[in-house]
Chains A and B, each alone.
Chain A
Amino acid sequence: MSAKRENAQGSLAGLRVLDLTRVWAGPLATRIYGDYGANIIKISDPRVPLINPNGLNSKLNRNKKNIGLRLDKTNGRNIFLELTSVSDIIIENFRPRVMRNLNITYETLARINPHIIMCSMPGFGLEGPYSEYPAFGTTAEALAGIPSLIGYDSSLPISTGVAYGDPVSGLNAVGILLTALRHRNITGTGQFIDIALAASPACNLGEFFAANSSNGYKPTINGNKSEHYSPHGAYKTRGEDQWISISITNGKSWKAFTEIIDNTILNAEDYCVFENRKQDEKLIDAHISDWFASKDAEEVMFQLQNRGISAGVVSNNRQLLSDPHLNERDFFVDMNEPLFGVKRYDGQSIRGNFKNKSDWETAEDVGESSKEILMELLGYTSDDCETLEKEGTVLFR
Chain B
Amino acid sequence: MDKSRQSLPLAGLKVIEVAQGVAGPHCGRILAAMGADVVKIEPPSGDWSRSIGPFLGEDENIESSATYQYNNSGKKSVLLDLSVPKGISTFTVLVSEADILIEDWDMSSRALNGIEKDRFTKLNSSLIEISLTPFGLSGPYSHFTSTPIIQLALGGYLYLTGLPGKEPLMLPGHQPDYLTGLNGNGAVQIALWERDQTGAGQFVEIAMMETLATLHQFTMEMETYEGFIRNRNGNLWQKESAFANYGITTIECVDGHICFGISTEDQWERLCMMIGKGEFLEDPQYATRSGRRSLATYLDSLLSEWVGERTRHEVMVEASEMWGLPTAPVLGISEVLEDAQFLHRGLFTEINHPISGKAHFPTFPFKTVDMIPDLSRAPLLGEHTSEVIHS
Contacts and interface: CB of A to CB of B under 8 A. Distances in A.
Are A and B interaction partners? yes
Contacts of A200: 365
Interface string A205-219: 111111111111111
Interface string A190-203: 01111110111011
B274 interface: no
Interface string B266-282: 01000000000000000
Given A208-B54, A347-B214, A11 B193 contact: yes
A282 to B, nearest CB: 14
Nearest to B334: A212
Contacts of B139: 324-326, 328-329
Contacts of A171: 179, 182-183, 186, 215
A45 B118 CA distance: 47
A116 interface: no
B366 A157 contact: no
B172 A139 contact: no
Contact of B140 (A156, A192, A325): A325
Interface in B129-161: 135-136, 138-147, 149-161
A265 B357 CA distance: 45
Contact of B219 (A159, A317, A328): A317
A148 B331 contact: yes
B200 interface: yes
Contacts of B178: 168, 203-204
B354 interface: no
Interface in A342-374: 343-353
B362 A158 contact: no
Given A214-B66, A229-B147, A56 B56 contact: no
Contacts of B20: none
Interface string B296-328: 000000000000000000001000110011111
B259 A139 contact: yes
Interface stretch (A68-76, A307-315, A383-391): A307-315
Given A145-B332, A171-B186, A158 B54 contact: no
A326 B212 CA distance: 12
B111 interface: no
Nearest to B230: A317
Nearest to B200: A6
Contacts of A53: 225, 242
A142 B153 contact: no
Nearest to A171: B182
A265 B188 CA distance: 50
Interface in A117-151: 123-125, 127-140, 142-151
A180 B371 contact: yes
B259 A142 contact: yes
Contacts, number: 513
Given A186-B9, A314-B153, A315-B154, A145 B336 contact: yes
B147 A310 contact: yes
A166 to B, nearest CB: 7
A224 interface: yes
A316 B210 contact: no
Kindly name the residue among A180, A305, A331, A350 whose own CB sees the greatest number of chain B CB atoms within 10 A: A350
B94 interface: no
Contacts of B182: 168, 171-172, 174-175
Contacts of B10: 179, 182
A268 interface: no
Contact of A133 (B170, B215, B316): B316
B365 A346 contact: no
Contacts of B324: 134
Given A162-B217, A209-B362, A215-B58, A349 B207 contact: yes
Given A140-B328, A214-B358, A205 B172 contact: yes
A136 B145 contact: no
A213 B348 CA distance: 10
Given A7-B198, A245-B153, A195 B223 contact: no
A135 B328 contact: yes
A249 interface: yes
A182 B173 CA distance: 32
A6 B194 CA distance: 11
A352 B345 CA distance: 35
Nearest to A36: B190
A244 B226 CA distance: 26
A54 B138 contact: no
Contacts of A132: 320-321
A135 to B, nearest CB: 5
A322 to B, nearest CB: 10
A183 interface: yes
7 contacts: A56-B221, A202-B365, A234-B149, A312-B151, A316-B229, A325-B141, A350-B186
